[in-house]
Amino acid sequence: MTTVTVLLVDDHVVVRAGLRALLDSQPDIEVIAEAGTGEAAVDAVTTFRPQLVTMDLALGAGIDGVEAIRRIRQVDRNLPVLVFTTYDTDADVVRAIDAGAIGYLLKDSTPQEIFAAVRGAAAGQSVLSPPVASRLLQQMQRPEEALTPREAELLTLLAKGMTNKELGKALFISEATVKTHLAHIYAKLGVDTRAAAVSVALRRQGIR
């Protein structure tokens, strides 16, 4: 039987202790290290060489979970990172996946779902909690026409890194109007940042 070695990353000691006890109850899963900060997580990857990392997104002081994922992926491009968090907004999911996470699991998952996610992620399979997967599927199935021609044009320019002022000049509209269009785009794509909007639109092939 092959054992999956795991690094737990969470800023709450009680959460780490509970998850460790749960995972260690399985004969094919072994927690070999823990980290309470993003920086410590990156160091632990180098020191312990786990086969899987479980990562919370909010890690208190220092870098957050998304940045920790990016840095871990720089250390070991093939190391799967499974997000394990309470944050379930579309924007959080997109940020984590874009950073390199192989899966996204919510902390209210059942033990069976957690075990399956750990085994699946360690084997290279993408894993999403059912509520997250359902929302993302609905989002990806939204027709591109949901964006007006003007919004699609603005999003295309946004992907090129333009500021609000530059967008206004390019489209001959005021910065206030740019902000209004962006608010509508964010709402339609289910995100709250420029980067997330571009990421979702690219996946939907909504921009060029």
CA-based nearest residue to 96, from 18, 38, 154, 30: 38
Tell whether 154 is covered by a domain.
Answer: yes
109 lies in the same domain as 183:
no
pLDDT at 24 over 80: yes
72 lies in the same domain as 129:
yes
Tell whether 208 is covered by a domain.
Answer: no
CATH code at 182?
Answer: 1.10.10.10
pLDDT in tens, 50-98: 999 999 999 988 999 999 999 999 999 999 999 999 988 877 888 888 8
113 lies in the same domain as 31:
yes
Tell me how many domains the chain contains: 2
Following DSSP, what letter does each residue of 63-78 receive, concatenated?
S-HHHHHHHHHHH-TT
Token pair listed for 121: 């992620």
CATH code at 125?
Answer: 3.40.50.2300
| Gap between the Cα atoms of 55 and 51, Å rounded | 13
Which domain covers residue 182, as residue numbers? 144-203
The residue type at 25 = S
Last residue of a domain, one of 108, 138, 168: 138
The residue type at 58 = A
| Gap between the Cα atoms of 136 and 14, Å rounded | 31
11 lies in the same domain as 54:
yes
Q: What are residue 105's phi and psi, to 5 degrees?
A: -120, 135
Task: Assign 145 a pLDDT band (cuts: 50, 70, 90).
Answer: very low
What is the pTM (predicted TM-score) of this model? 0.68
64 lies in the same domain as 157:
no
Q: State which H helix or E strand residue 6 sits in.
A: strand 4-9
129, 162, 165, 170, 174 from 178: Cα distances, Å: 35, 11, 8, 11, 6
Place of tokens 């420029």: 194
Residue 122, pLDDT score: 94
Token pair listed for 33: 């290290």
Q: Euclidean distance between the first and final Cα of the chain, in Å?
A: 47
pLDDT in tens, 105-136: 999 999 999 999 999 999 988 888 888 776 66
Last residue of a domain, one of 83, 103, 138: 138
